[in-house]
Amino acid sequence: MKEFAPVIDSSAPIRQVPRLLVNFLGYDAVWLAAVGGAAAGWWFAGPIAASAFLVLHALIFRPALWEWQFIGAAALLGTGIDSMLLAMGLVDYRYGSPFGLPIAPLWITALWAGFAATLHHSLKVLASRPWLAMVLGAIAGPLSYFVADAIGAVTLPRAPSTTIVALAIVWAVTMPIVYAFGIWLRRRNGGSV
């Protein structure tokens, strides 16, 4: 079977910068659409934005099968983590919990899929630095929820100090695990890290 070359040649390091910038900013757009959409009652905005972002991701990076598997697994894992946070009473999602079930809504799954698409590209530097992934997870994770709360996409019903500590721990643990899984999956499928 003939292998297709990426749309943008990645052989020169300088050409990598625009691709990584598109990857990073594309996920930012997904986050804004998902969180802003949920706050406005448009739960479908996140899944639509994530779908468009993943199509763009496919056109630019031509991901191998292992990366698509990783994106799918990370989306499911993230949905499970956010469902756990919901069950623990740390977060309440506005709009979109399917059929009233106690699971995170589809726009959260879309966020996780988009986020996973950055982990081996614009956020790749964290893959070889688990301590940095932990620190950034402990800071950026809670910050993301607090911004989503301020916008109105989620409600954080517990005391802020409790919420910050719990979210920081969850994200500090999750980030290196997700990266380790991605590295394992890539190696298992014959790719180098």
Q: What is the pLDDT of residues 123-174, one digit of tens each?
A: 998 988 999 999 999 999 999 999 999 999 999 999 999 999 999 999 999 9
In angstroms, the CA 65 to CA 36 distance is 31
Contact 85, 91 (CB under 8 A): yes
- Who has greater pLDDT, 4 or 166? 166
The structure tokens listed for 182 are 């991605």
CA-based nearest residue to 47, from 107, 103, 94, 112: 107
In angstroms, the CA 69 to CA 14 distance is 28
For the chain, which residues make up each domain, given as ranges? 16-188
- Who has greater pLDDT, 160 or 191? 160
In angstroms, the CA 191 to CA 98 distance is 37
Q: Residue 2 pLDDT more than 80?
A: no
> For 21-66, how does the pLDDT look when each residue is reduced to its tens digit (9 = 90+)?
999 999 999 999 999 999 999 999 999 999 999 999 999 999 999 9
> For 75-116, how does the pLDDT look when each residue is reduced to its tens digit (9 = 90+)?
999 999 999 999 999 999 987 676 778 899 999 999 999 999
- Give the E-state strand segments of 19-172 in sequence order: 92-93, 154-155
What pLDDT, on the 0 to 100 scale, is given for residue 7? 44
Q: Nearest 10 degrees: CA dihedral of 167, 87, 144, 156? A: -100
The structure tokens listed for 74 are 């990370």
Q: Residue 6 pLDDT more than 50?
A: no
Residues 6+ apart with CB under 8 A from 142: 163, 164, 167, 168, 171
